[in-house]
Amino acid sequence: MRSFFAHIPKELWRSYQWQIQSRIKTKEELKRFINLRKEEEEGIDKTAGKYPMAITPYYLSLIDPKDPKDPIRLQAIPRAVEVDEEIQAHGEEDPFREEGEIPGLTHRYPDRVLFTLTSFCAVYCRHCMRKRIFQEGERARTKEEIDQFLDYLRGREEVREVILSGGEPLSVSKEKLQYILSKIREIPHVEIIRIATRLPVLAPQRFFDEDLLDLLEKHSPIWINTHFNHPKEITQESAEAIEKLLRRGIPVNNQTVLLKGINDNPETMLELMRGLLRIKVRPVYLFHCDPIKGAIHFRTNIEKGIQIMEYLRGRIGGMGIPIYALDLPGGKGKVPISSNYLIHQEGSKYIFRSPFGDKVEYYVEVF
């Protein structure tokens, strides 16, 4: 931990503002810490202006510079394959048709709406499913755009949940956050606010700020959805951030994306799920990697995901087993993908395959 930054005083290291101001954004800066491979140098050059790079010192410090396949490195440093026309021709910018008439608003399911509050991220994750917004520059929604969203919300009584997303929604100013949270709370039919944030992973220092925690607690019930992809991301600092949220009554759930070369093996995934439970984060989803232009090279086949899910079952309690799911194209919604444990049925007799591979008969008589 802090391998490249041992000289930085503790107060600075624990400051979110310092982490953001000190982000590594150029090839020259990055080369001070890591010997870049050719495909990375080319990647940084070729993705400039399209899929920019930014890495917090904290996230960079998790990289083992001697390992070219380090899972943090692969998530944070651009590679030339991101702009390889032949490979990326298979992906789309917005396969789920998120963009609609109101800027930032997606209303796919009747009971919930998603609003992207900013295009800023602490780190630009190379596999991001909203990679298209990287090109917008680092811009938070204006008050007018937020008001337009709030007007829409007021008129939709079927909406019970608002998901604030991004970019990184908790990067906007406290004033803006206070404004949108308090206005949402004035709308009687909205019961839950969910915040989708990767800051516990990329800059957990954000949650060392008691004013932010006060603000979140005041607008309860707020749920946090975060995005750990690899056991290396579970650190003392990320655990501290989670603990602080939990102590304020803010539950933290996780969604992982299945990523080739990063977490697509059963042992890594088991270690990740165990680590999440240890820091009291509930693993809710394992998402199949979406067909996103610029990130298509991270995809595995579906059999790989099923194999991982089968490995988890029987090795970790149900609390640690996420739902493996994929997002259907065209905004048609998420569907779970599961192994078939029921292999035969005849009248009241069912035959199941156990997690250990046995065939087991099960009878159900309904009276």
Q: Which residues bind ligand SF4 (CB under 6 A)?
A: 121, 124-125, 128, 130, 166-168, 198
Q: Is 25 in the active site?
A: no
Integer angstrom CA distances of residue 22 from 50, 157, 364: 21, 43, 62
SS3 165: strand
Choose, from 2, 14, 31, 108, the residue flagged as catalytic.
Answer: 108
Among 154, 334, 341, 353, the active-site one is 334
**207/199 Cα distance (integer angstroms):** 8
User: How far apart are CB 41 and ligand SF4 at their closest, in Å?
Assistant: 21
User: Of these residues, 23, 125, 131, 176, which one is catalytic?
Assistant: 125
CA distances from 123 to 131, 144, 202, 335 (A): 12, 27, 7, 29
Contacts of 320 (CB under 8 A, 6+ apart): 273, 274, 276, 277, 283, 312
In terms of CB distance, is 51 or 324 closer to ligand SF4? 51
Minimum Å gap between C-beta 332 and ligand SF4 is 22
Yes or no: say if 78 and 44 are a contact pair by the CB < 8 Å rule. yes
Q: Which of 25, 31, 112, 183 is catalytic?
A: 112
In the complex, minimum distance from the CB of residue 207 to ligand SF4, in angstroms, rounded to a whole number: 15
Active site residue 128: yes
Judge whether 289 counts as a catalytic residue: no
151 annotated active-site: no
Task: For residues 340 and 276, give the distance between their C-alpha atoms in angstroms, rounded to a whole number.
Answer: 26
Cα of first residue to Cα of last residue in the chain, in angstroms, is 61
> With respect to ligand SF4, which residue has the nearer C-beta, 167 or 275?
167
Name every residue whose Cβ is closer than 8 Å to that of residue 141 and which is 6 or more positions away in sequence.
103, 104, 116, 117, 118, 149, 172
Q: Which is the catalytic residue, given 46, 130, 244, 293?
A: 130
Closest CB to ligand SF4 among 43 and 166? 166
Q: Which is nearer to ligand SF4, 88 or 307 (CB)?
A: 88
Q: For this structure, is 209 an active site residue?
A: no
Residue 124 C-beta: closest distance to ligand SF4, Å: 5
Q: Is 108 a catalytic residue?
A: yes
Q: In terms of DSSP bridges, do strands 112-116 and 105-109 run parallel, antiparallel, or are they unpaired?
A: antiparallel
Give 180 or 289: the residue with its C-beta nearer to ligand SF4.
Answer: 289
Task: Write out the catalytic residue numbers.
Answer: 108-109, 112, 121, 125, 128, 130, 290, 327, 334
